[in-house]
Amino acid sequence: MSAVFIISAPSGSGKSTLVREVLRIDRRLEFSISYTTRSPRGLEVPGLSYQYVSREEFEQRMKADEFLEHAEVFGHYYGTHRSVWDKAKAERKDLLLDIDVQGAQQLKKRIPDAVTIFVLAPSREILEQRLRARSEDAEAVIARRLAGAAREIRNYHSYDYVVVNEQVESAVDTLLAVIRAERVRRQRMEDRIRPILASFGEQL
């Protein structure tokens, strides 16, 4: 039974770095490449970082109900296409999604047993340092992202787990521990348990 892991965090919390490391280590995870209407940033690669589409195309796909979730963030659309979940299930992999708070809430309604994880920077000051270190945004954009972070962190209580990203290696270890523990929840193990019980002449 495939599991769904949703990771959310305010911009600058180091979520992308953590996700990249987790995917490198755990080959049973399928990463959901989101659709977006914004332009590529930095070293982002179309088709690997995001599926970059026009606003018009995104809205057409929205009307066709092609997205499991979608949201507008800082003037740009982001969304998870249904096909990524179908692909993960077909390949018997677990799906990892890097999406914002709005999207996580929508997806949780569609897939109630999805596991949600919220990543936090250790403090506002460190979050601001990380945003400035990226050298990607103007002052006005940094201020907007910090204000957005203050709103987003109020939603931490709606997540199953919270990871404070103080040190990358430790945060990655924590994320992997969550993923491995969730995989052996009884509900996810029923297909594995059934033949074992049958070998004892028992049935679920």
pLDDT per position as a tens digit, 152-199 = 999 899 999 999 999 999 999 999 999 999 999 988 888 889 899 999
Please write the tens of the pLDDT for every residue from 94-128: 999 999 888 899 999 999 999 999 999 999 999 88
Alpha-carbon 116 to chain mean position:
8
Residue 115, Cβ density class (10 Å: 0-12 exposed, 13-18 middle, ≥19 buried): buried
Percent of the chain with pLDDT over 70: 98
Please state the length of the chain: 204
Which amino acid is located at 2 in the chain? S
pLDDT at position 202 is: 72
- Tell how far CA 191 is from the center of its chain: 26
β pairing state of 4-8 and 94-98: parallel
pLDDT at 204 over 60: no
Tell whether the model's pLDDT for residue 203 goes beyond 70. no
Tens-place pLDDT, residues 139-149? 888 888 888 88
Domain 4-199, CATH homologous superfamily name and number? P-loop containing nucleotide triphosphate hydrolases (3.40.50.300)
Q: Is 202 left (phi over 0), alpha (psi -120 to 50) or beta?
A: beta
CA dist 184 and 162 (Å) reads: 20
Domain boundaries, the chain: 4-199
- Which residues face 8 on adjacent strands? 118
Contacts of 53 (CB under 8 A, 6+ apart): 35, 36, 37, 61
- pTM for the predicted model, two decimal places: 0.86
Asked if 23 and 113 touch (Cβ cutoff 8 Å), the reply is: no
For residues 97 and 23, the answer to whether their CB atoms sit within 8 Å is: no
Tokens, residue 111: 């897939």
